[in-house]
Structure 1
Amino acid sequence: MKARPQGLWYGRGPKGSESYGGGCVATTTTYQDINFKAIADVRSHSSEISYDQAAATREFIAACNPENIAILISAYKEMQQKLVAHGLAG
């Protein structure tokens, strides 16, 4: 399995020649950055989803970046420890 790029991810909507429904999730918001890493290609013109659905999907995927997932796992573990300390979980 290939490691996904670290850091924040961004839902990049249609720009320029992609105005027909293009868009992706990437490691930058700037289309001029030739070194960006694409995480997911989410375009409404090539699928059965609307432009609004494609935009919402890009934002949802972007929120699932490795940093955010690590924060969620850490918070979950901390909560579990507190529950055990208070005798509410075993």
Structure 2
Amino acid sequence: MANSPSSKKRARQTERRTEVNKARRSRIRTFIRKVEEAISSGDKTAAVEALRVAQPEIMRGVTKGVTHKNTASRKVSRLAGRVKALSA
């Protein structure tokens, strides 16, 4: 348990940041899920549109420190590959 005033403040700040980061991570997952649903339905135009909207959201997670840059790039790349495979 935090004892000094600075460590108590740090604990409060961590609680608030955790809530914000949890909301951001959830939001990113929602966008990814929308792309995956469009892919599974086989609707290429919807999948392309969903990916176009999801990509900046996923990368925003990197700038906010929620995900690692390579992780976000990998997710975008794999989703783009799956969307591209729909037309084949």
TM-score where L is the length of structure 2: 0.32
Which has the larger strand fraction? 1
Whose helix proportion is higher, 1 or 2? 2
TM-score by length of structure 1 reads 0.32
